[in-house]
Amino acid sequence: MPPKILVIDDDSSLRRVLEYNLQQEGYDVYTAADGETGLQLFAEKAPAVVITDLKMPGKSGFEVLSAVKERSPATVVIVLTAFGAIDTAVEAMKLGAFHYLTKPFNREELKVTVLKALQLQGLSEENRLLKEELSGRAEFKSIVGTSRAMEGVFSVVRKVADTEATVLITGESGTGKELVARAIHSGSSRRSAPFVAVNCAAIPRDLLESELFGHVKGAFTGAIRDKEGKFQLADGGTIFLDEVGDLPLELQPKLLRVLQERVVEPVGGSSLQKIDLRVVAATNADLERGIAEGKFREDLYYRLCVIPIQLPPLRERVEDVPLLLRYFCARFGAEGVAFTGEALERLQSYAWPGNVRELENTVERLLIMREGDQIGVEDLPEKIAALSPPAEGGVLRLPPGGYSLEQLEMEVVLEALARCDWNQTAAARFLRIPRHTLIYRMEKYNIVQPGRK
């Protein structure tokens, strides 16, 4: 597709000459007799290069230059000026024009100037696309995974990042909820504004309202000056409400008001403060169960859960474990360290109840305690090293004489508990059964954790 060039000049004969010469060079050429018409054509045709006279009735060339640069900084503008008015052309270049042509000019001069302008425009567009690509990569630089489950997460993040929709991220502890929230912020038009993270479970209950919404001087004992809350600090950017399921019931209406009206009322204050921000929340709690138990407002839940993102636990994406191991080794400055095949099998067999955070801590410990540049089964924590490697052709390797169904069930429960470091909630989730069913099976088979009576 040939490049588009827009010519704006009130001299009809010069317009025709420019149009003819540029068409001879293979360009798509559009012409306008005044600045107003020229800017309308610019909006419709989106040309790569604009050639405009500086002195015209109505909108001047300077006004055209300013409007073009405001709407599309990458578009290249060449100005036309009469001989002896070069100072005016230089002033236009200071305002963003690429070059100037003094009347009269020959075809070769026009040809060379336009060609250089298009080369500059091409480089500018290439640079823009490269920046966009790098920006897109930066969004996920700390989130490692190539599994189908994680690709699904990445796909949703890409779609919702540059919107204003409120997002609710759910998943077990250690799955990387804050990393996803930061990726959403990085991919949005608010990326240059603040990203403020708040852990609703980590702030004492009696201080949480002040921390979130701020307070005025004298609002309570110790309030010696006005203080901005996290919502005010995040104005213009994104606020990340981690563990939002732990927000006290009495504060939930205030958060609901922020989501509905985008206003904040500081503790002890009488006036509302308008804010402009994006809300991303996260929880590892079952909010629908919280609603049923009267611990979480249903209307707040639906305000938060406009876009839900469910993060998979590590045990459901074990194919990402080798990639994560390499990532953490590189992060800790140990790129040359390798894991034996048997060690890798054990690491992939473990259920990782603490998810990626537990894996990161394990890798850090292994790197500190290692004797060489290869980590084997003997170097792994005992609970991981003791696991049986996955059997080929099934979950368990059955002996020739077979198993009774009860014996098989008992071994599966024992295996799940061992893989989950005897965390009953994680083991029940691993077996896809309710926790009370797991406890019943443990009591039935008299299963107790080693070292406990």
pLDDT above 90: residue 379: yes
Pick the closest to residue 266 from 209, 194, 225, 222 (CA basis). Answer: 209
- Picking from 258, 280, 310, the residue at the C-terminal end of a domain is 310
User: What gap in Å lies between CA 325 and CA 344, rounded to an integer?
Assistant: 9
- CATH classification of the domain holding 58: 3.40.50.2300
- CATH classification of the domain holding 226: 3.40.50.300
Task: Let me know whether 223 and 265 are in one domain.
Answer: yes
Task: Let me know whether 56 and 201 are in one domain.
Answer: no
182 or 94: which leads in pLDDT: 182
Q: Give the confidence band of 402 by pLDDT, cuts at 50, 70, 90.
A: low
pLDDT above 90: residue 247: yes
Find the mean pLDDT for residues 75-86.
Answer: 81
**Of the given ranges (32-36, 82-86, 152-156), which has the lowest mean pLDDT?**
82-86
Find the mean pLDDT for residues 436-440.
Answer: 85
What lies within 8 Å, CB to CB, of 417 at 6+ separation is 424, 427, 442, 447, 449
Q: Give the confidence band of 83 by pLDDT, cuts at 50, 70, 90.
A: low
Pick the closest to residue 228 from 270, 273, 295, 180 (CA basis). Answer: 273
* Cα angle: 108, vertex 110, 114; to 5 degrees: 120
Task: Let me know whether 250 and 221 are in one domain.
Answer: yes
Residue 23 lies in a domain: yes
Q: Collapsing DSSP states into helix, strand and coil, what is residue 418? A: helix
pLDDT in tens, 253-295: 999 999 999 999 888 887 888 999 999 999 999 999 999 999 9
Q: Which residue range(s) make up the domain with 62?
A: 4-131
Residue 392 lies in a domain: no
pLDDT above 80: residue 394: no
Query: What pLDDT was estimated at residue 415?
Result: 80
Q: Is the dihedral of CA 184, 190, 193, 199 positive or negative?
A: negative
Query: What pLDDT was estimated at residue 452?
Result: 62
412 or 50: which leads in pLDDT: 50
User: What gap in Å lies between CA 301 and CA 241, rounded to an integer?
Assistant: 13
pTM (2 d.p.)? 0.59
Find the mean pLDDT for residues 311-339.
Answer: 88
Query: What pLDDT was estimated at residue 407?
Result: 66
User: What gap in Å lies between CA 329 and CA 374, rounded to an integer?
Assistant: 12
Task: Let me know whether 184 and 305 are in one domain.
Answer: yes
User: What gap in Å lies between CA 129 and CA 121, rounded to an integer?
Assistant: 12
